[in-house]
Structure 1
Amino acid sequence: MKKNILVAPLNWGLGHATRCIPIIKALEENNFNPVIASDGVALALLKKEFPHLVSVELPPYDISYAEKGKNFKWKLLAQMPKMFKAVYNERKIVNQIIEKHAIDGIISDNRLGVYSQKIPSIFMTHQLNVLSGNTSWFTTKIHSKFISKFNQCWVPDSDSDSNLTGKLGHLKKPLKNVTYIGPLSRFEKRRRKKVFDLMVILSGPEPQRTFLEQKIIKELDSYTGNVVFIKGVVQEKQTSHTQNHITYYNFMNSEQLENTFNQSEKVLCRSGYTTVMDLAKLGKKAFFIPTPGQYEQEYLAEKYKMEGIAPCCNQEEFTIDQLLTIENYNGLENFSTEINWNYLFRLF
């Protein structure tokens, strides 16, 4: 009989869910039966991608986000008691899920309470260093304590000097249970005729996603090239419309996104790590606008700018003419090797 593996991504934008797509596919290809667990848009997206799989809803972390970037960290820290309560609720529900669905193993993407001492449990994250300004030591220590409860910690990056995460995914004193599995992407680079001069793709927590959408739409009034604009709003039905030189979509599935990426010359997006891995796999040139107050995205955007890979700016300062600077940068390159799923799944 096939072993049942619970795959549980955090519902924070769409990145955690989308990078679980290649893992879910690999589980199926290696004769496992994935069971999906999440909440909100993350769960909705995975149910659309894998309608044939069993899915269960986990309690939401129900975190609200600051409207101003400078308040982002402090609002999150103030909600830590609520988050720990959600983690505690996760622990109780996970035990019920294990029993009801005969779960044999767990892969948790940043869901701190989705593990069990009874079955092999894997935690996936690209943030071993959890950056939060002058409180980074504290947030990193708490995160490491949770990671230690899992049998393994997968980091979707390389452990060589040529890597994507920098200090985010590489501690000076490595944790004992960490395995670097290589960058993850659900996409493949394919030869396609150019259709769009610019692809805009949004994700991340509200209200900042909406703020950026509104700003970019206003700026695109003076842009002359063909644009495809994916808002990153997962709804029951896909919608699209074309206005002047811009084609809008509320969301796309993986196959549509892969095709659109390959048809687009340049990409304007957040500097979320899942997006970065996709761009690297496809060898794309991009302009990054990090989510205000998210130290992780701000760090990655500045890292790639300093390395001559991609330009960036903060949300308030963005103007459409800054896209011209993309030509001065090298773009992201794919340095990943084929992932040995058979080796990684040996724990199960």
Structure 2
Amino acid sequence: MNGNFNIPKKVLIAPLDWGLGHATRCIPIIQSFLAMGSEVVLAASGPQAQILKQEFPQLTLLPLPGYAVRYSKKGTTLALRLLLQAPRILKTIREEYLWLKQVQKIHQFKLIVSDNRFGLWHRAVPSIFITHQLQIQIPNSWLEKKIQRINYKYIQRFQQCWIPDSIQPSLAGNLSHPQVLPDVPMHYMGPISRMQQLDKSIQYKYCFLLSGPEPQRSILEKLILTQIDQLNANCLLIRGLPGAQQTLPATQNCTIVQHAATDELMQLLASSEYIICRSGYTSLMELMAMQRKMILIPTPGQTEQQYLADYFMQQGWGLASTQDSLDLSATLQAASEYHYHFPTLAYFNTDRLQELLSAIVWHRH
């Protein structure tokens, strides 16, 4: 057998467009495929495409429309708003499936890697679905089971599902370890992170790391800016707006950065004692890799982020707060009294990718 048998010659990698996390967590996966000698083609649009193009200017990037989910200003109405958009989301899933059928005729991919894009699978090509969210958090248990069945129905169209988490200790908790798994080969690939722990002197007491969809990103930003002058400390605000034209001026005690690519972001985070951020799963994986002290403010209405913030606080990995009643001074005081600890984790790397590839059935009959 050829030693390169399990190295696909040409790979398509496409992240979901809900926030930036799906795109950023694909970066180490892309790097590993490139390190093995695969040709990688990317598919994305909007801010996700900008991030990937910034990190990999040499790679082909195919324009692929996203799900373009619209979020509400009130967290309490988010579930209803998402439900009303369901027909359009289902239409997009169908369109991306048909898009891939046409693109495959031109590019002849040997492997397809879809980060949470349900329609990006092909009958004739090994197709991998990446998700940490096997159990979608819904307040109603009947509805939660129904949504899980729909989720699994889509996942089971793929040849395999790769989960960016460990079996133990688990960063995603019940989200990635439900009682019932999909009927498709499942592999825990390890947490994924662009970041690693750096030994740097502290320059900023507090780093406010903004991310996620609008309008909630801007709402949190305004809340922070109205209170930041009250803090007697050197602060950093990273707005998380790649390609944005409108900038904000620095305040007396706060440096403001529009967006930071991987290397710059890692340096900034390593120079900060506390990181105040959303509890999106990609942010959590990266900050745990850097062993940073986190203050987590889940996006209102996003039950996954609310669950993760509570779960991290129970484990002693981060302090959970809320956006609706955000009092920065009180929250930061609580963080100074909180006992943080960090577990030992085996993160995804190129060796792990080779193990995952060895489990793929390359020839379908």
TM bin, normalised by shorter chain, reads over 0.9
CA distance in 2, matches of 1:171, 1:207: 31
CA distance in 1, matches of 2:290, 2:87: 40
CA distance in 1, matches of 2:148, 2:285: 23
Output one character per residue of 1:193-212: Cα deviation in whole Å (capped at 9) or x when no partner.
Answer: 11111111111111011101
Partner of 1:301: 309
Does the CA contact (< 8 Å) of 2:316 and 2:341 recur in 1?
A: no
Partner of 1:99: 105
1:171 matches 2:183: no
Report how far residue 295 of structure 1 moved.
0.4
CA distance in 2, matches of 1:118, 1:75: 36
Q: Residue 342 of structure 2: which of 310, 330, 333 is its match? A: 333
332 and 139 in structure 1: CA distance in 2 versus 1, 3 angstrom threshold: farther
1:277-316 matches, cutoff 5 A: 277-316=285-324
Does the CA contact (< 8 Å) of 2:115 and 2:131 recur in 1?
A: yes
Runs of 5+ in structure 2 lacking a partner?
A: 1-6
Greater shift, 336-345 or 201-210, is seen at: 336-345
Report how far residue 239 of structure 1 moved.
6.4
Please tell me the residue identity of whatever aligns with 2:332.
L
Partner of 1:83: 89
Partner of 1:344: 356
CA distance in 1, matches of 2:93, 2:174: 26
Please tell me the residue identity of whatever aligns with 2:173.
G
Equivalenced residue count is: 347
Partner of 1:212: 220
Report how far residue 331 of structure 1 moved.
3.1
Partner of 2:49: 43
2:110 counterpart SS class: strand
Report how far residue 242 of structure 1 moved.
3.0
Report how far residue 308 of structure 1 moved.
2.8
Please tell me the residue identity of whatever aligns with 1:97.
V
Partner of 1:151: 159
Does the CA contact (< 8 Å) of 1:112 and 1:146 recur in 2?
A: yes
Does the CA contact (< 8 Å) of 2:16 and 2:66 recur in 1?
A: no
Output one character per residue of 1:223-252: Cα deviation in whole Å (capped at 9) or x when no partner.
Answer: 111111111111067968532111111100
Does the CA contact (< 8 Å) of 1:199 and 1:227 recur in 2?
A: yes
1:113 matches 2:130: no
Does the CA contact (< 8 Å) of 2:166 and 2:346 recur in 1?
A: no
Does the CA contact (< 8 Å) of 1:283 and 1:334 recur in 2?
A: no
Runs of 5+ in structure 1 lacking a partner?
A: none
TM-score (norm 1): 0.96
Output one character per residue of 1:287-313: Cα deviation in whole Å (capped at 9) or x when no partner.
Answer: 111000000000011112223322222
Output one character per residue of 1:126-172: Cα deviation in whole Å (capped at 9) or x when no partner.
Answer: 10001122121122111111110111111111112x21111111111
1:317 matches 2:325: yes
Greater shift, 137-146 or 119-128, is seen at: 137-146
Does the CA contact (< 8 Å) of 1:148 and 1:177 recur in 2?
A: no
Q: Which has the higher contact order (CA 8 A, sep 6+)?
A: 2
2:147 counterpart SS class: helix
Q: Residue 265 of structure 1: which of 259, 273, 288 is its match? A: 273
1:317 counterpart SS class: coil
Question: In percent, how many aligned pairs have the same letter?
Answer: 35
Does the CA contact (< 8 Å) of 2:204 and 2:235 recur in 1?
A: yes
1:21 matches 2:27: yes
Report how far residue 279 of structure 1 moved.
1.1
Does the CA contact (< 8 Å) of 2:196 and 2:266 recur in 1?
A: yes
1:131 matches 2:140: no
2:305 counterpart SS class: helix
TM-score (norm 2): 0.91
Does the CA contact (< 8 Å) of 1:65 and 1:75 recur in 2?
A: yes
Please tell me the residue identity of whatever aligns with 1:28.
L
297 and 236 in structure 1: CA distance in 2 versus 1, 3 angstrom threshold: closer
CA distance in 2, matches of 1:52, 1:237: 24
Greater shift, 313-322 or 24-33, is seen at: 313-322
CA distance in 1, matches of 2:56, 2:242: 15
Partner of 1:56: 62
Please tell me the residue identity of whatever aligns with 2:353.
W
128 and 95 in structure 1: CA distance in 2 versus 1, 3 angstrom threshold: same
CA distance in 2, matches of 1:90, 1:333: 40
CA distance in 2, matches of 1:271, 1:165: 11
CA distance in 2, matches of 1:251, 1:332: 28
